Amino acid sequence: MRFLALFLSVVFAFQMTMFPYAAQADVSYDAAAGVKGEAPVNKVGSLLLAGGLAVMAGTAITIATASSSGNVTQLSGNTFKTSMSGNTVRGQAYFDNGPKLSQIDAQSNSDYVELTDGSRVNGPVSNVTEQSLRVGGQEVSMSSVASIHSSRVFNFTCTTGANPKMTFTSTGVKPAAVKTTKTSSSSGEHSTMTKVIVTGIVLAGVACAIAIPVAIACSNRGHNNRGNQAQNQLAQAMLFQNLSRNRIDSGP
């Protein structure tokens, strides 16, 4: 039993060293102080994270991954437009730093902001805070913003209390896939040849449709002419026979 206990302790120590679990603290929310605590995260948009952890303190947020030497920051930024319903905090997060920033930038190719008056401002979104943001080279008050669409802005939800659960969804517009069609000179030649062959077949069919009835009609005329000639010859023979009989009966 002592040997088994020693073996299990060694295995546990090895697991914690090689595959550490991300530490987490209870998540709480205060309208004035913001979100506070830590929650496990496995992805931000389409960015996958192994042993990810979201660390929140007021409006500051950091996305880190666990390693043998401790947590390693991958993204950092701030939260805004947070609110709470039941035991779930909802809001948006803007990331502007970290080694994974280039990967989330690749998730969208068109930043824009829709305003409450129905207009739209295009351009890169930056300097997002609880009060304002910059888009298309101009500063816009957050009170005038209806929605933000950017590769660096994510909607998030996080449950409060022990064992919190947190998810991120992108607000950016995904790049459209472009399909290219290759056209070669040989394919054009094949297409032209096919059209010529089809046209020849159609013309040949039309010619046959005209020639066959004409041939049949001519054949019928030929048969009719030969029949008429035979009838005429027979009538002449009978007439000659009758004349001969009449001469014999009348005598010299």
**Domain check: are 163 and 90 in the same one?**
yes
Amino acid in position 82: T
Indicate whether 3 belongs to any domain. Answer: no
Rounded to a whole number of angstroms, the CA Rg of the chain reads: 47
Residue of 138, 135, 143 lying closest to 94 (CA atoms): 135
Q: Which residue has the tokens 């009449």?
A: 246
**Domain check: are 31 and 133 in the same one?**
no
Indicate whether 75 belongs to any domain. Answer: yes
Expressed as residue numbers, the domain containing 158 is: 23-107+151-169
Is the model more confident about 70 or about 179?
70
**Using one digit for the tens of pLDDT, what is the confidence trace for 72-99?**
999 999 999 999 999 999 999 999 999 9
- Which residues, including other chains, have CB under 8 Å from residue 9's CB and lie 6 or more apart? none
Average pLDDT over residues 25-32: 90
Is the model more confident about 122 or about 69?
122
Q: Is 229 helix (H, G, I), strand (E, B) or coil?
A: helix
Supply the pTM of this predicted model: 0.61
Query: What pLDDT is stored for residue 152 in this prediction?
Result: 96
Rounded Cα distance between 8 and 150, Å, is 49
**Using one digit for the tens of pLDDT, what is the confidence trace for 209-238?**
555 554 455 455 554 555 566 566 656 656
Rounded Cα distance between 91 and 232, Å, is 112
Query: What pLDDT is stored for residue 4 in this prediction?
Result: 43
Rounded Cα distance between 37 and 58, Å, is 9
Helix (H) or strand (E) holding 153: strand 153-159
Choose the most confident range, by mean pLDDT, from 151-165, 173-187, 223-237.
151-165
Q: How many CB atoms lie within 10 A of CB 91?
A: 21
Residue of 89, 62, 71, 57 lying closest to 167 (CA atoms): 89
Indicate whether 92 belongs to any domain. Answer: yes
**Domain check: are 39 and 160 in the same one?**
yes
**Domain check: are 65 and 28 in the same one?**
yes
**Domain check: are 190 and 159 in the same one?**
no
